Structure 1
Amino acid sequence: MTCLICAGPAEELACPERWEERKCAECGHYRMSHALVLALMDQGQIFDVGKARAWLVNQRRESQIPYLEHVSGLLRT
């Protein structure tokens, strides 16, 4: 399986139905909503990997497994 952020190798983990859960050696452990995955694919958008990883690090201070439902400011322009 691949990482939804950096497209590198990642482990896909079991999670609630409306989420995708990944564990990437570079991006770490996170969840992303199915709706967001589909929207990104439909629009052909990709993450700014550095910004997304920094956001995940910051979010881990509050939640052991950060989750992405919106990506404002985290996409490559």
Structure 2
Amino acid sequence: MNCLICVGAARRIQCSGPWEERDCPECGRYRISDELILSMINEGEIFDINRTRHWLEIQRMRVAIPSIEMSEALLVT
């Protein structure tokens, strides 16, 4: 399985709800909403890898597994 941020090798984690969860050696463990993934695919967008990794680091100070939803997408894409 691939990381949804950097496209490197990552482990897919089973989770409930409308999420994809990955554990990437470079990006760490995170969740991305299905809605955001579909929107990015439809728009041909990709994550800014460095910016997203930085955002995830900050989020990990508050929660163990950060989640990227549509409302945060502008902050990390």
TM-score with structure 2 length normalisation? 0.93
Once the two structures are superposed, residues 37-62 of structure 1 have per-residue CA deviations (whole angstroms, 9 ceiling, x without a partner) of 10000100001100000000000000
| 3-state SS in 2 of match to 1:72 | helix
The alpha-carbon deviation at position 17 of structure 1 amounts to: 2.6
Shift in Å, 1:36: 0.5
Q: Percent identity?
A: 44
Moved >3 Å (runs of 4+): none
CA RMSD of aligned residues (A): 0.7
The structure with the greater share of residues assigned to helix is 2
Question: Any unmatched runs of 5+ in structure 1?
Answer: none
Task: Calculate the TM-score normalised by the size of structure 1.
Answer: 0.93
- 5+ unaligned residues in a row in structure 2: which ranges? none
**CA deviation profile, 1:2-50 (whole Å, cap 9, x unmatched):** 0000011000001013000000000000000000010000100001100
| SS of equivalent residue, structure 1 residue 73 | helix
